[in-house]
Amino acid sequence: MSDSDAKLAFWGVRGSTPTVDRETWRYGGNTPCIEFTAPNGTRFIFDCGTGLRMLGNHWAQTLGVSPIEAWVLVTHYHWDHVQGIPFFHPFFEPQNRFHFYSFQSECLGPDSLKQVLASQLSGPYFPVPVSMMSATRDFHEISGGDRFEVAGTKIITRWLNHPQGCLGYRLETSAGVVVYATDNEPGDPKLDANLRELAADADVYIHDAQCTPEQLASSRRGWGHSSWLEGVKVARDAGAKNLILFHHDPDSCDKTVDGFLQAARQEFPNSWAATEGMSIRLRHKKTTIAMRDTRVSQRRPVNFPAIISGQAEDGSEFEEQVTLKDISLHGAFVALQNRPRLQSEVKLCIETANNGQPISMMSMRGTVVHRDSGPDREQNGIGIVFMQERPTRRIRD
């Protein structure tokens, strides 16, 4: 990463409780945790959900025993935002140092964050006591409206509308502005204004989109969450450049989140759905978004003529004839002249043959999860994950 770049990495994007359902694997099932690296290399962690374990494993693989110092910004103390603490290996290494920030809870009183951390490692719920955490830890109680600076990164906090309290964070760097504002319910005029102040002109605005607009207006009123539609409203009002839908409901399958994203893009084109393994790079207030490589199943070389259609990066529709050379049970990799948007839907029609004679067309829908330069510099290498539905097959006469 360049010295002038900042980077976000998403390790947990699910709300309320982790999921392991097959229908949620594409977006991911770990609860909230985001890593932010400032241009000067300063490390921040947003929340400590189960995604924190994945971040710890990543640091162990990439940093080894090198000392780690990081600033941990906790929005609130509900389980899905702290339950990864006992499984984060860097907390148990003496060479590391962590600075924790959050608010004083009315339920817990002084040293709330320190109490919460200790309670995650207390009997009879966990066999390892907090005394085994050998990393240096210090704790800072802050409030909505605070402003402070960490190694050149300016941090602003605001209260959000969530049961038992919640903080939103705005981080300002030379590369751009990131706002993390999850677990917020619209409807309180003062707190609605807080949110828009926080998100003003943000390069990346991360928004709680757990509910549908209909749920938010009825069965889930008072739960402290929001919808994709409210995210669009805030992003527009605040002049944010990119909207990230976050905190997916545990009962929202990948297809449901796809629907939220498609609806949001109709109203605010620069919308994205947070995905485990997704990264966002900021440089000179410009963002580049990338997805993890999802080609984990065994790939088979093939040589099938196919037609792929979808939406290009500029919003126009395209249809292109290709030769499919790489396929698995989960997806395919193709080289295109066109450049579809990440997280956009495409349709792939594959022609199958017997003794050189075409016999049928198999049609599948997928979503674009990877994009880079193809084998030809004038082409784009596109990774597609098939959506979870049965392919349709048409037999030719």
What is the domain-level CATH number for residue 62? 3.60.15.10
Say which residue the tokens 């917020």 belong to: 184
Same domain, 203 and 87: yes
pLDDT at 264: 97
Q: Quick check: is 340 in a domain?
A: yes
| Enclosing domain of residue 359 | 300-395
Domain boundary among 290, 314, 331: 290
Task: Confirm whether 265 is domain-assigned.
Answer: yes
CB 107 within 8 A of CB 135: no
Average pLDDT over residues 21-36: 95
Enumerate the H helices of 286-357 as residue ranges.
none
> In terms of domains, do 283 and 326 share one?
no
- pLDDT at site 272: 97
Report the 10 Å Cβ neighbour count for 320. Answer: 14
Q: Are residues 266 and 306 in the same domain?
A: no
Does residue 142 lie within any of the structural domains?
yes
- Alpha-carbon torsion angle 171, 78, 18, 289, nearest 10: -10
Nearest to 346 by CA among 378, 386, 295: 386
Residue in the structure block whose two tokens are 């757990």: 210
| Alpha-carbon torsion (51, 272, 366, 336), positive or negative | negative
Question: With 80 as the cut, is the pLDDT of residue 373 above it?
Answer: no
pLDDT at 294 over 70: no
Q: Is residue 160 part of a domain?
A: yes
Four-point Cα dihedral 95, 101, 104, 110, nearest 10:
30
Do residues 382 and 361 share a domain? yes
Give the distance, in angstroms, between the CA of residue 313 and the centroid of all CA atoms in the same chain: 20
pLDDT for the residue 99: 98
Alpha helix positions (H), the chain: 51-63, 112-119, 189-199, 213-217, 228-238, 254-267
Do 37 and 174 reside in the same domain of the chain?
yes
Distance CA 148, CA 222 (A): 31
Number of domains in the chain: 2
Same domain, 279 and 305: no
Flag whether 306 is in a domain.
yes
Domain end call among 233, 264, 290: 290
Residue 47 confidence (pLDDT) above 70: yes
Q: What percent of the chain is predicted at pLDDT more than 70?
A: 92
Same domain assignment for residues 205 and 336: no
Cβ contacts of residue 258 below 8 Å, gap of 6+?
273, 345, 367, 387
Opening angle at CA 133, ends 128 and 138, nearest 5: 135
Residue 43 in 3-state DSSP? strand
The stretch 361-390 carries a mean pLDDT of: 79
Model confidence at 168, pLDDT cuts 50, 70, 90, reads: very high
In a domain, 136, yes or no: yes
Q: Is 217 helix (H, G, I), strand (E, B) or coil?
A: helix
Question: What is residue 388's predicted lDDT score, i.e. its pLDDT?
Answer: 61
- Specify if 295 maps to a domain: no
Greater model confidence, 248 or 4: 248
Please tell me whether residue 199 adopts helix, strand or coil conformation.
Answer: helix
Per the DSSP assignment, residues forming a β-bridge with 304 are 324
Least confident of 22-36, 227-241, 250-264, 288-302: 288-302
Residues 199 and 278 in one domain: yes
Judge if 249 and 126 occupy the same domain.
Answer: yes
CA-nearest of 274, 291, 279 to 15 is 274
The token pair at 73 is 């910004």
Residue 319 lies in a domain: yes
**Does residue 376 register a pLDDT over 80?**
no
Question: pLDDT at position 395, please?
Answer: 46
Which span out of 19-23, 161-165, 291-295, 350-354 was modeled with the highest average pLDDT? 161-165
140-149, 177-186, 203-212, 285-294: which has the minimum mean pLDDT?
A: 285-294
| H-only helix segments in 90-143 | 112-119
CA–CA gap between residue 163 and residue 224 (Å, rounded): 6
CATH of residue 330: 2.30.110.10
49 and 197 both lie in a single domain: yes
pLDDT band per the 50, 70, 90 thresholds, residue 260: very high
Torsions phi, psi for 19 (to 5 deg):
-130, 150
Give 397's pLDDT tier (boundaries 50, 70, 90): very low
The last residue of one of the domains, among 272, 290, 308, is 290
Residues 87, 179: one domain?
A: yes
CA distance 364 to 269: 25
Residues 239 and 285 in one domain: yes
